[in-house]
Amino acid sequence: MIIIGERINGMFTDIGNAIKDRNPAAVQEWAKKQEVAGARYLDINTGPASKNQAEDMKWLVEVAQEASDLPLALDSTNYDAIEAGLALCKRPAMINSVPAEMPKMERVFEMAAKYNAAVIGLAMNEQGIPKDAESRVALAMELVAMADAYGLHMEDLYIDPLVLPCNVGQDHGPEVFETLRQIKLLADPAPRTVVGLSNISQGTKNRELINRVFAVMAMACGLDAAIADACDDELVEAVATARIVLNMDIYCDSYVDVFRKQG
């Protein structure tokens, strides 16, 4: 599992203020911190208070790229803002995200093809998030078919089965695991999988414990990536360990440090 660092998001006060004041310090500090901690992508989200999402996205992209060489995951439901950001990305970026809905898929997969970007596709549509694995997988198949039609490689399609907080949608947990397993059977090579990790623990106690336990369990079911707190040391240690157990990295006594440095 790779970590898409979640911290450059206008929802956090320091980043929200940085955007408002066009002060790059906090953005660049988090870009560097997340990279050192082991993130492989930086999520970039202007946040709910943004009045001009395209301009704010462009500024964040430029400022983040001055501080870090990591590729970016542009996170917005405003596709004009995403496209404005994509045009400035120096490395192939990720579009976060698109539901299994026309014409949103058409717009997003066309942009992905134009800018050589990866795409996060959500297993939901106009009717919301399905309750069972079967319906989620059906929506995942729609995303696979559309991605394929636009020439996107399956390695560049990250499907998010959609995680609900375990204190309100507890019955979704096993369905998410089953969805992850079945997504890996939809195509060969298989599409990738991603979750928004902190969703599992919204409003709970022991948030970090729940996050890291869920993360490694999901890895056992085929999870490839997570938008998560790269600076949560215990999460990074658990993920590095899961990669050893899954035989994805070669064991050595310093495997946690090796994992961080690969970031």
The residue ranges that bind a copy of itself (CB under 8 A) are: 166-167, 170-171, 173-174, 177, 200, 204-206, 209-210, 213-214, 216-221, 237-238, 241-242, 244-247, 250-251, 253, 256
To the nearest whole angstrom, how small is the minimum distance from the Cβ of residue 129 to a copy of itself?
16
Phi, psi of 75 (to 5 degrees): -115, 100
Alpha helices in 88-224 (DSSP H): 104-115, 133-149, 172-183, 207-220
Rounded to whole angstroms, how far apart are CA atoms 69 and 125? 34
To the nearest whole angstrom, how small is the minimum distance from the Cβ of residue 191 to a copy of itself?
20
Identify which of 103, 93, 112, 105 has the alpha carbon closest to the alpha carbon of residue 153. Answer: 112
CB nearer to a copy of itself: pick between 80 and 257:
257
- Which amino acid is it at 149? A
Q: Which long-range contacts (CB under 8 A, 24 or more apart) does 52-57 make?
A: 53/78, 53/80, 53/81, 54/78, 54/80, 54/81, 54/84, 54/85, 55/84, 56/10, 56/19, 56/81, 57/81, 57/82, 57/84, 57/85
The Cβ of residue 219 has, within 10 Å, a number of other Cβ atoms equal to 22
Question: Are 135 and 186 in contact, with CB atoms under 8 Å apart?
Answer: no
To the nearest whole angstrom, how small is the minimum distance from the Cβ of residue 251 to a copy of itself?
5
CB nearer to a copy of itself: pick between 92 and 165:
165
To the nearest whole angstrom, how small is the minimum distance from the Cβ of residue 246 to a copy of itself?
6
To the nearest whole angstrom, how small is the minimum distance from the Cβ of residue 90 to a copy of itself?
35
CB nearer to a copy of itself: pick between 205 and 261:
205
Rounded to whole angstroms, how far apart are CA atoms 230 and 233? 7
CB nearer to a copy of itself: pick between 145 and 246:
246
To the nearest whole angstrom, how small is the minimum distance from the Cβ of residue 160 to a copy of itself?
17
Tokens of 29: 């500090």
CB nearer to a copy of itself: pick between 113 and 244:
244
CB nearer to a copy of itself: pick between 17 and 170:
170
